[in-house]
Amino acid sequence: MDSIWIWVGFNLFVLAMLALDLGVFHRKAHAVSFKEALGWSGVWIGLALAFNAGLYFWMGPEPALQFLTGYLIEKSLSVDNIFVFVLIFSAFSVPAIYQHRVLFWGVLGALVMRAILIIAGAALLEHFHWIIYLFGAFLIFTGIKMALPAKKEKDITDNPVLKLARRLLPVTDDFVEDRFLLKRAGQWVVTPLFLVLLLVETTDLIFAVDSIPAIFAVTTDPFIVYTSNVFAILGLRSLYFVLAGVIDKFYYLKQGLAAVLTFVGAKMLLVDIYKIPIALSLGVIALILAVAVVASLWRARRQAAPDKEVLLER
């Protein structure tokens, strides 16, 4: 997809949607309700599917299928971000009223970082085909590591980037409304909300190292890789507010994501021996995620049943 105008047009659309989101619908800081978040999730998913349909009629079924598979991979892997966002907001006691603003600017930074990584990854694969084997091996390693029992969780605030920021920047003791920066006694200082944003950006950069190589297993077309990433990231904020309160119920989701990464890594390693069809890849990934979600909900229901029985006895 070489036409510069296609890239410009798509990015102008994204900026317009972000401006509409922040400038109209979220101009005043407020706690995002479940109903509102669910509605926005539907909007972003609907836009992604409409774009997918446009690709089908414009470029044909193969690119459309590549986009849909890439979008599903990125959307599912973005759920891993939500686990960490919950920990970050909890550790810093971020009021619900300010969380949307943090995630909005976090998403904006994520779009820029991912665009740079995608361009770099596409250029490397174009000139050095063997790098796809490194990507594949890395994804399998990451998948196996994700599937293993987690070690004792570290304090999310014990982060080297955060320590460096505290050392270099003057930080206020408390939140000052939804401000990241403000001037005090003639000096610019940052608020704890800025540190939260810094952690959110750092988290996304770490996860992008996993997710971007995964989509290169589907296609090396930079436009499809970029657009599927963008639509997945744009829906991340609303998805957070939908799942934040129930994320602990998805017990087997990490194992599902681990299986997806391992499958995608194996697909990359086999690329010169047997090219797994995109339709088959989409079916396998969708099946893995469906099994993980259904198993998680079944487990949550089983655990809730004894509690209901105790209440009835009382």
Q: Between vectors from CA 147 to CA 261 and to CA 305, what angle results, nearest 5°?
A: 115
- Lowest mean pLDDT: which of 24-38, 92-106, 126-140, 278-292? 24-38
The first and second tokens of residue 161, run together, are: 């980037």
Bridge partners (DSSP) listed for residue 190 = 171, 181
Has residue 53 been placed in a domain? yes
Has residue 4 been placed in a domain? no
Has residue 198 been placed in a domain? yes
Give the number of domains in the chain: 1
- Most confident by average pLDDT, 133-142, 155-164, 167-176, 183-192: 133-142
Which segments within 20-91 are labelled E, that is strand?
A: none
The first and second tokens of residue 313, run together, are: 């006895």
Taking only Cα atoms into account, the Rg of the chain, rounded to an integer number of angstroms, comes to 21
Has residue 21 been placed in a domain? no
| Alpha carbons 241 and 238: distance in angstroms, whole number | 5
- The model's pTM is 0.84
Q: Residue 238: which pLDDT band, with cuts at 50, 70 and 90?
A: confident
Longest dimension (CA), the chain: 70
Which of 261, 197, 240, 272 shows the shortest CA–CA distance to 83?
240
Task: Evaluate if residue 120 carries a pLDDT over 60.
Answer: yes
Dihedral sign from CA coordinates of 234, 238, 240, 243: negative
**Number of Cβ atoms within 10 Å of the Cβ of 293:** 16
The first and second tokens of residue 72, run together, are: 């599903």
Has residue 15 been placed in a domain? no
Q: Considering the chain, what is the average pLDDT of its residues?
A: 83
Has residue 108 been placed in a domain? yes
Has residue 280 been placed in a domain? yes
Task: Evaluate if residue 148 carries a pLDDT over 90.
Answer: no
Task: Evaluate if residue 166 carries a pLDDT over 90.
Answer: no
Give the whole-number percent of the chain exceeding pLDDT 90.
Answer: 15
8 A C-beta contact, residue 180 and residue 194:
yes
| Domain encompassing residue 73 | 26-313
The arithmetic mean of pLDDT across residues 179-202, rounded, is: 86
Has residue 137 been placed in a domain? yes
| 186 vs 67, residue with greater confidence | 67
